[in-house]
Amino acid sequence: MTPQDAASVAPSTPAPSPGALPAPPRLAAKGIVLTGASSGIGRATALAMASEGAALVLAARDEAALQGLVRECEALGGRATAVPTDVTDPEAVAALARRALEVLGQVDVWINNVGVGAVGRFDETPVAAHRRVVEANLLGHIHGAHAILGAMRQRGRGTLINMISIGGWIPTPYAAAYSASKFGLRGFSEALRGELVDLPGVHVCEVYPTFVDSPGLSHGANYSGRQVGAPPPLIDPRRVARVLVALSASERPRAKTYMGAPALPGMFAHALAPDLLARAMGHVMRRALAGAGPALAADGNLFQSSRTHEVDGGFRRQRRPFAAPGGYVLLGLMAAGAAWALRPRRA
């Protein structure tokens, strides 16, 4: 766990002495809505929160997958309700909020966790795919915030968590719509937090993991003609889930959480030399795709629910000789950016 992660997670408590009562579950009094719950980070988070006693309303497009997850959550001691929802539909998200308030009585935490992507050259990727990525990643989060903030404002309490990824700071060539959605989501979250400054009990949190070993990449759309993988180091989805549990349990959660070794170097590189970083990322992505095997074009889970619903993506078990370790790449980019920004200039 990085220092940034540690700052977000509640400190560990000493082991209880013999005969002492066990600590109560951290989320026993919390009503939580989680979108994108059926796989990856969402599934890991639902299970982690259930083990902490949370009352959950779980949303995703696949009702059968949600019902199976409900049973797993209840076996761990939590309460869970499935509400099939497509976050690109604002009316469906408003209905999700109404159902959550009906079931939970109050929504303490709303986690916007849906995220999709489309890999391929911008002009060779269908416009409908670009549009769908923005609708899910950006408008889906906006729909969630709009549906629940009125109730949080009226109550004077609540936490809204937006899952963004480090893609909100670092451009991702060959996934231009993904970059647009994540950069936009970062701006939306910051603007919303400023708007809610008069409500100290209402919090807007952003979580920025680097590459996570979730099924997201294999489930996403691919128009590149090449197999898509994830560069190391990869984060276990359960580690992200622990951070989300800690943020949800806190009465004063931190606004921004960065996860993964490349996160801060990448942000510094973007601050020092954004154009150089974009060009360098373009070279890295182009080389990675050129070294990958062929693949057929596929819409993935853009327009229909994912085929499988695991927590792990399985990328940590694969050997990818053409993928340079992301942390070292970004550290190098940061150094190059600093050298470029601080180079002597002629008058």
Residues labelled as active-site residues: 178
Strands (E), 15-60: 31-35, 55-59
- The dihedrals phi and psi of 7, each to the nearest 5 degrees, come to -70, -20
Task: State CA 186 to chain mean position distance.
Answer: 12
Q: How far apart are CA 303 and CA 333, in angstroms?
A: 36
Q: In one letter, which amino acid is 86?
A: D
Q: Three-state DSSP class for 260?
A: coil
Q: What does DSSP assign to residue 251? A: S
Q: How far apart are CA 48 and CA 286, in angstroms?
A: 37
Q: What does DSSP assign to residue 121? A: -
Q: How far apart are CA 173 and CA 59, in angstroms?
A: 30
Q: Do residues 130 and 176 touch, judged by C-beta distance below 8 A?
A: yes
Q: How far apart are CA 226 and CA 234, in angstroms?
A: 21
Task: State CA 130 to chain mean position distance.
Answer: 19
User: 105: which 2 tokens?
Assistant: 């009585």
Cα–Cα distances in angstroms (integers) from residue 109 to residues 25, 176, 215, 227, in the given order = 16, 30, 25, 37
Q: How far apart are CA 79 and CA 83, in angstroms?
A: 13
Closest CA to 8 of 301, 272, 208: 208
Q: How far apart are CA 28 and CA 52, in angstroms?
A: 6
User: 155: which 2 tokens?
Assistant: 């109550």
User: 161: which 2 tokens?
Assistant: 């968590």
